[in-house]
């Protein structure tokens, strides 16, 4: 059986047992091959836009003796999927903006009809993905943040829910942070930093946002060296964002630091 990276293993762990899976942007199809080998999924579709990874995915499936269970298709995003073919869609390893564009295009073509869960791992732009899920009435059932090989990843598990509006209202209620901020500001913070991640903070969360604070600090320093009025405005905006992130981090329960 294939051995997955920690990141891919966590994605696989979110997939509901017995689900037919469509892995979009599958690269070498390691995730669907693992799900088939482990018996977690009865069938899988690997979608890949580019010829090289498409051929690599076909070879991976053939070498594993899974050609009857694994369908490899070349195409753009969810266009490789027929309506009703999958219970679970996984998308990983791309920016949140591109991921949201793929989901939006698929939604417009009803490609997500019958899909019960999404497992998503954006490399950046996680807030954009959370906004898409909210807009289209998906419930963010779980999130995980990890560090692997010096990079930090966030994995999201979203599901259909009959009472999605009520559940999302509860999930994005930031009152648990105990901060004297308007509800709209707390809502934005939870979209930005992750409602589950803030409720159960891990060392990787602190590391990610300390890194972000350092980056914003460098930008503010550069802007302070400019005499342009718009530079001052931007610096003040970044400084306000830094203050809010710092305030949130300070109110979270402390956790053990990451080991080297």
CATH of the domain at 66: 3.40.50.150
Domain that holds residue 188: 175-251
| Number of domains forming the structure of the chain | 2
For the chain, count helices (H), then strands (E): 10, 7
| Neighbour count for residue 100 (Cβ, 10 Å) | 22
For residues 215 and 119, membership in a common domain is answered with: no
Domain with residue 205: its CATH number is 1.10.287.1890
Domain membership flag for residue 169: no
**Mean pLDDT throughout 195-213?**
97
- Read off the pLDDT of residues 216-234 as tens digits, 9 standing for 90 and up: 999 999 999 898 989 999 9
The dihedral region occupied by 250, where left means phi > 0, alpha psi between -120 and 50, and beta the remainder, is alpha
For residues 99 and 201, membership in a common domain is answered with: no
For residues 15 and 115, membership in a common domain is answered with: yes
Burial, 50: exposed, middle or buried (Cβ in 10 Å; 0-12, 13-18, 19+)?
Answer: exposed
pLDDT at res. 152: 98
Residue with the two structure tokens 């994995």 = 155
**Mean pLDDT throughout 37-64?**
96
Confidence class for position 260, pLDDT limits 50, 70, 90: very low
Cβ-based neighbours of 67, under 8 Å, separated by 6 or more: 61
**Mean pLDDT throughout 52-74?**
95
Domain membership flag for residue 257: no
pLDDT at res. 253: 82
Last residue of a domain, one of 137, 160, 183: 160
Summarize the chain as % helix, strand, coil (round to 5). Answer: 50, 20, 30
pLDDT at res. 258: 46
Both tokens assigned to 228: 């342009």
For residues 144 and 32, membership in a common domain is answered with: yes
For residues 28 and 58, membership in a common domain is answered with: yes
- Read off the pLDDT of residues 131-155 as tens digits, 9 standing for 90 and up: 999 999 999 999 999 999 999 999 9
**Mean pLDDT throughout 23-35?**
96
How confident is the prediction for the chain on average, in pLDDT? Answer: 95
pLDDT at residue 179 tops 90: yes
**Mean pLDDT throughout 192-211?**
97
**Mean pLDDT throughout 123-130?**
98
Both tokens assigned to 253: 């329960």
Collapsed DSSP state (helix, strand, coil) of residue 142: strand
pLDDT at res. 259: 44
For residues 49 and 118, membership in a common domain is answered with: yes
Q: For the full predicted model, state whether its pTM sits above 0.75.
A: yes
Instruction: Please check whether residue 195 is in contact with residue 171, taking contact to mean a CB–CB distance below 8 angstroms.
Output: yes
For residues 149 and 185, membership in a common domain is answered with: no
pLDDT at residue 256 tops 70: no
What percent of the chain is predicted at pLDDT more than 70? 97
Instruction: Please check whether residue 120 is in contact with residue 106, taking contact to mean a CB–CB distance below 8 angstroms.
Output: no
For residues 27 and 83, membership in a common domain is answered with: yes
């Amino acid at each position: 059986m294939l051995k997955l990276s920690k990141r891919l293993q966590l994605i696989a762990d979110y997939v509901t047992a017995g689900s037919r899976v469509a892995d979009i942007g599958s690269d070498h199809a390691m995730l669907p091959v693992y799900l088939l080998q482990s018996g977690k999924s009865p069938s899988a579709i690997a979608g890949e836009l580019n010829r090289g990874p498409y051929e690599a995915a076909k070879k991976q499936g053939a070498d594993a003796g899974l050609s009857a269970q694994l369908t490899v298709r070349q195409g753009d995003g969810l266009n490789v999927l027929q309506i009703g073919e999958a219970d679970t869609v996984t998308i990983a390893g791309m920016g949140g903006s591109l991921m949201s564009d793929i989901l939006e295009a698929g939604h417009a073509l009803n490609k997500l009809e019958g899909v019960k869960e999404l497992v998503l791992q954006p490399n950046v732009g996680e807030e954009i993905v959370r906004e898409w899920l909210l807009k289209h009435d998906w419930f963010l059932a779980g999130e995980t943040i990890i560090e692997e090989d010096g990079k930090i990843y966030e994995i999201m598990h979203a599901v259909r829910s009959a009472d999605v509006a009520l559940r999302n209202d509860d999930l994005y209620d930031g009152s648990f942070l105990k901060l004297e901020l308007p509800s709209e500001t707390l809502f934005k913070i939870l979209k930005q930093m992750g409602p589950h991640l803030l409720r159960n903070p891990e060392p990787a969360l602190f590391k990610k946002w300390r890194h972000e604070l350092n980056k914003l600090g460098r930008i503010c320093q550069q802007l302070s060296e400019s005499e342009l009025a718009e530079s001052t405005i931007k610096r003040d905006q970044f400084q306000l964002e830094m203050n809010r992130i710092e305030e949130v981090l300070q109110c979270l329960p402390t956790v053990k630091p990451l080991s080297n």
